[in-house]
Amino acid sequence: MSEPGLHPSICRFCTVGCPVMVEVAEGRAVRVSGNRNSPTYFGFCCAKGQAAPEQLAHPDRLLTSQKRDADGVYRPISAEQAMDEVAAQIRRSVDQWGPDSVAIYVGTYSACYPAVGPFAGALLEALGSRMMFSPNTIDQPGKDIAAALLGGWEAGPQMFTGSDVWLVVGGNPLVSYSNSLPGQNPARRLTDALRRGMKLIVIDPRRTETAARAHIHLQPRPGEDAAILAGMIRIILTEGLEDAAFLAENVAGLDALRAMVEPFTPALVCARAGLAEADLIAAARTFARGPRGLAVGVTGINFSGRSSLAEYLVQVLNTICGRFIRAGEPIVTPGVLLPRAAPRAQPRPPRPARDLGYRMASRGLGASAAGLPTAAAAEEMLAGRIKVLISIGGNPVAAWPDHPKVLAGLEALDLFVQVDIRMSAAARLAHHVIAAKAGFEVPTASVARESLERGNPVHGNIDTFGMYAPALVEPPPGSDLVEEWEFLYGLAQRLGLPLSLRFPGGTKGTARESRPPINVDMAVRPSSDAVLEMLTAGSRIPLAEVKAHPDGALFPEEVLAAPKSPDCTARMQVGDAAMMAELAEVLAEPDPVEEAFPFLLVSRRMAHVYNSSGHDLPLLRRKGTPFNPAFIHPDDLAALGVEPGDRVVVASRHGEVEALAEADPSLRRGVIAMTHAFGGLPGDGTSYREVGSNIAALMDVADGFDRHSGIPRMSGLAVRVTVGPPEG
Ligand SMILES: Nc1nc2c(c(=O)[nH]1)N[C@H]1C(S)=C(S)[C@@H](COP(=O)(O)OP(=O)(O)OC[C@H]3O[C@@H](n4cnc5c(=O)[nH]c(N)nc54)[C@H](O)[C@@H]3O)O[C@H]1N2
Ligand SMILES: Nc1nc2c(c(=O)[nH]1)N[C@H]1C(S)=C(S)[C@@H](COP(=O)(O)OP(=O)(O)OC[C@H]3O[C@@H](n4cnc5c(=O)[nH]c(N)nc54)[C@H](O)[C@@H]3O)O[C@H]1N2
Ligand code: SF4
Ligand SMILES: [Mo]
């Protein structure tokens, strides 16, 4: 395919989509490094990106699709044959149980391969099924719920560039490259911003790599974010630090908000959260004085109960300080490979956040502004309402909360299909495993990253970077691999269904909103490049123009936010009744810690693994442990009589896991931290010492679940730690 030598491409190990240089030798990618000729990322490439060649050439890479036979053994099957069999079962299921018996889970990797979401949505729509699941509802679903209940600002929030203050709540972007700092080389961007005087505030029970660089680090007990944010809002409103003119013009519900935050005095908040009053007050004042800057919530506050409320209060904090792009100011980006955005500086009204159609069998959950509750999918399978599950680039077995329930749910399916690049935990339970092309074997474009933008200036492109990357290498010799969208297309063809790709709407009155659906040619399968053309149809910059810049380029165009339309009467709602009622509940809720479970377990990420990926790559293995330790404060270790390296059992009310203890002075005392998506399958003979343990076993989908999105408590979970009996 490509000549030997160095070629620019886009990394697909994670959703950041860094431009990289790939060394191709003998038809294979052999080395990956940053691309200094690309703008915006400053030659950045993390260890995971550098390990991409090991992933593509791994001895355990799936080279052909697999089918589990009656004897439980997986045997190779051609992709075409697998599609025949899967399509036949889908047809049977729809005939017998109706279209909603067929579900698709588009996992984290669907954000690296831009065709997956649109093709999965099109197939379900053609089938008449509403059953689309994604990790969003076990990640940061509170964002979408809060945006629905509060409304929004068409021109978007203020951006990182030019901010005076930045508040990260429950995230560690210097390790995760999450959306709480711009993902394009976050360390470099943070250093530059701090140098020019920006103030960083971090709220995290751990003194993370990010918290260590903060001017103010609030290190609270986990699960207290709603109280802390309510306390900060109260300080701002009491001291008159809010943007009164902005509120008068654009916001409703201020009186209700004032009344509801009143009980959250610094004394009350700090007693609950274990903070010093002076620090809380300083954080609130520093944030409010800005004058520019944003508060961003990440996974930590979505996992610890009250995901929607915590994210709502983050957005309220931004709203009362008026942290939005005003008329005449440049918007973050008008789009590159998306249609042009030309938003107005005006409020978007609230809309319903839940009861949006499909109702699940369990716990009053259903379709919400964040999608269908993935945490309730297993119950839906156990209730016999989902019969066929196709999981693409996600790993329900490793990553979904409540491990035992997930295993039982998958077991109850008529057909479980896993599209993967290796025999992951999920693949090892699937009936059919579809072997996928990956990374540099397929062409891509920066539209994947851009689509993540969701109106958040740090979620997607923070500037007008655009890039196309052709396929550089052929899949391994002798393999029979398909792209995810080709598999979905193949199913639709066999089922005689048309596919019509739809794109999420954009701001009213702009080219994004009016983006028409695209009908895919079902007679002749399009090429991957033709699919990229479809995904970028109507883009501000034609794909052909982007292709003319092999290292990617900036395509600047200053678009200023238009003034509020004279007939706009919308207001953002900071006193939503459901949220205010939940805030009142916070006051009355019992302390989660009790004598039998004296510690709070938090989820945290480690740099050398990406959810359930990367564990088997030599380059990453050198950078960390192959298992997930139980990180415990040294003083807590001493009190428990545990030495670093000892075996401990971590038990919640729901389940228990084994782990090796590791001393971690960055933790608040009483908090222990572990990373998700480790561990093998029950009875597979692996030990926690080799592959770690799956902390999803500690979680109960019915424990402290969010009423809107269904996300259960996955952090701030009450646990006990006991010293395991010595192993024989
Ligand atoms: N290396 C690596 N990078 C990744 C991933 C990975 O697995 N590995 N996963 C990717 C994915 S899917 C995502 S969504 C992003 C997530 O990105 P982040 O949200 O930045 O993920 P974490 O680094 O786990 O940071 C969560 C932080 O929340 C803190 N926390 C826990 N409980 C609470 C609480 O109750 N309150 C507060 N305030 N903080 C709390 C934890 O101590 C932790 O530091 O990362 C992405 N990047
Ligand atoms: N306790 C706890 N649970 C959590 C979290 C936590 O912090 N704590 N984090 C939550 C979050 S934020 C998320 S996003 C979810 C993640 O949930 P998922 O997205 O379901 O989990 P991943 O492990 O990212 O699944 C990725 C799968 O894709 C496969 N894969 C890798 N590369 C490719 C590729 O190129 N193509 C294809 N087709 N497949 C590929 C991998 O082998 C793996 O099986 O987990 C959630 N669960
Ligand atoms: S941050 Fe993500 S996209 Fe960038 S090099 Fe690392 S793994 Fe690849
Ligand atoms: Mo995530």
Average pLDDT over residues 134-153: 95
Task: Please tell me whether residues 661 and 695 are part of one structural domain.
Answer: yes
Where does the pLDDT of residue 449 fall: very low under 50, low under 70, confident under 90, or very high at 90 and above?
confident
Q: Which of 20-24, 243-247, 416-420, 515-519 has the lowest mean pLDDT?
A: 515-519
- Which residue's CA is the nearest one to ligand 2's atom 27? 394
Nearest-10 crossing angle of helices 277-289, 225-238: 60
Q: Is 13 close to ligand 3, i.e. is its CB under 6 Å away?
A: yes
**CA–CA gap between residue 71 and residue 68 (Å, rounded):** 8
Predicted confidence at residue 510, as pLDDT, reads 67
How far does residue 439's CA lie from ligand 3's centre (Å)?
A: 12
pLDDT over 70 percentage in the chain: 97
CA 49 to chain centroid, in Å, comes to 18
**Full domain range(s) for residue 667:** 592-723
Q: Among 555, 583, 611, give the residue marking a domain's end.
A: 583
Which ligand sits nearest to residue 107's alpha carbon? 2
pLDDT tens digit sequence for 166-191: 999 999 999 999 889 988 899 999 99
447 lies in a domain? no
Digit-coded pLDDT (tens) for 277-331: 999 999 999 999 999 999 999 999 999 999 999 999 999 999 999 999 999 999 8
Q: What is the pLDDT of residues 383-413, one digit of tens each?
A: 999 999 999 999 999 999 999 999 999 999 9
On average, the pLDDT of the chain sits at 95
Mean pLDDT of 596-622: 97
Q: Which residues line ligand 2 (CB under 6 A)?
A: 107-109, 135, 138-139, 299, 392-396, 398-399, 401, 419-422, 424, 426, 436, 438, 484, 603, 611-613, 676-677, 695-696, 714
Within a domain: residue 406? no
10 Å CB burial of residue 593 (0-12, 13-18, 19+) is middle
pLDDT of residue 262 exceeding 70, the answer is yes
Query: What type of residue sits at position 82?
Result: A
CA end-to-end distance (rounded Å), the chain: 54
Same domain, yes or no: 193 and 258 = yes
Same domain, 209 and 302: yes
Domain limit, last residue, from 583, 604, 632: 583
Measured by CA distance, the residue closest to atom 29 of ligand 2 is 393
Residue 577 shares a structural domain with residue 651: no
Is the per-residue pLDDT at 509 higher than 70? no
Parallel/antiparallel/unpaired status of strands 671-674 and 599-603 = parallel
Whether residue 178 lies inside any domain: the answer is yes
Based on the domain organization, do 666 and 607 belong to the same domain?
yes
Residues 662, 578 within the same domain: no
Would you say residue 501 lies in a domain?
no
Q: Is residue 446 part of a domain?
A: no
Token pair for 110: 């669907």
pLDDT band at 453 (very low <50, low <70, confident <90, very high): low
Residues 676, 632 share a domain: yes
Query: 672 and 579 in one domain?
Result: no
Structure-block tokens of residue 31: 């080395």
Number of domains in the chain: 2
- CATH label of the domain that carries residue 236: 3.40.228.10
Percent of the chain with pLDDT over 90: 90
- Closest listed ligand to the CA of 698: 2
In angstroms, the CA 136 to CA 558 distance is 32
User: Rounded to the nearest whole angstrom, what is the distance from the C-alpha of residue 426 to the centroid of ligand 2?
Assistant: 10
Residue 89 within any structural domain of the chain: no
The enclosing domain of 617 has a CATH number of 2.40.40.20
Mean pLDDT of 20-29: 97
pLDDT at 455 over 70: no
Regarding beta strands 165-169 and 293-297, do their DSSP bridges make them parallel or antiparallel, or are they unpaired?
Answer: parallel
Q: Supply the pLDDT for residue 512.
A: 72
For residue 728, pLDDT beyond 50 = no
Helical ranges in 290-438 per DSSP H: 299-303, 307-320, 377-382, 396-399, 403-411
* 70 occurs within a structural domain: no
pLDDT of residue 505: 66
Q: Is residue 507 scored above 80 in pLDDT?
A: no
657 Cβ contact partners less than 8 Å away, ≥ 6 residues apart? 649, 650, 679, 688, 693, 694, 695, 697, 698
Q: Are residues 199 and 315 in the same domain?
A: yes
Same domain, 579 and 678: no
Position 334 scores a pLDDT of 87
Q: Check whether residue 169 and residue 198 sit in a common domain.
A: yes
User: Does residue 60 surpass a pLDDT of 60?
Assistant: yes
Q: Which residue has the higher pLDDT, 194 or 331?
A: 194
**How far is Cα 199 from Cα 216, in angstroms, rounded to an integer?**
8
> What integer is the mean pLDDT of 201-207?
98
Cβ(17) – ligand 3 distance below 6 Å: yes
For 669-677, what is the mean pLDDT? 98
Q: Cα separation of 635 and 639, whole Å?
A: 6
Q: How confident is the model at residue 726 (pLDDT cuts 50, 70, 90)?
A: low
Q: How far is the CA of 193 from the centre of ligand 3 (A)?
A: 21
What is the pLDDT, as a whole number, of residue 108? 96
Residue 640 has pLDDT above 90, yes or no: yes
Q: How many CB atoms lie within 10 A of CB 567?
A: 5
Same domain for 206 and 306, yes or no, is yes
Reported as a single tens digit per residue, the pLDDT across 678-694 is: 999 999 999 999 999 99
- Average pLDDT over every residue of 564-568: 96
121 has a pLDDT exceeding 60: yes
Give the distance (Å) from ligand 4 centre to CA of residue 511: 29
List the alpha helices (DSSP H) in 321-427. 377-382, 396-399, 403-411
How confident is the model over 29-46, as a mean pLDDT? 95
Q: Do the domain assignments include residue 445?
A: no
Which residue among 559, 583, 607 closes a domain? Answer: 583
| Pocket residue to mutate for ligand 3, from 10, 12, 14, most atoms within 8 A of Cβ | 14
**Nearest to 264, CA basis, from 587, 715, 609:** 587
Pairwise CA distance, residues 8 & 47, whole Å: 17
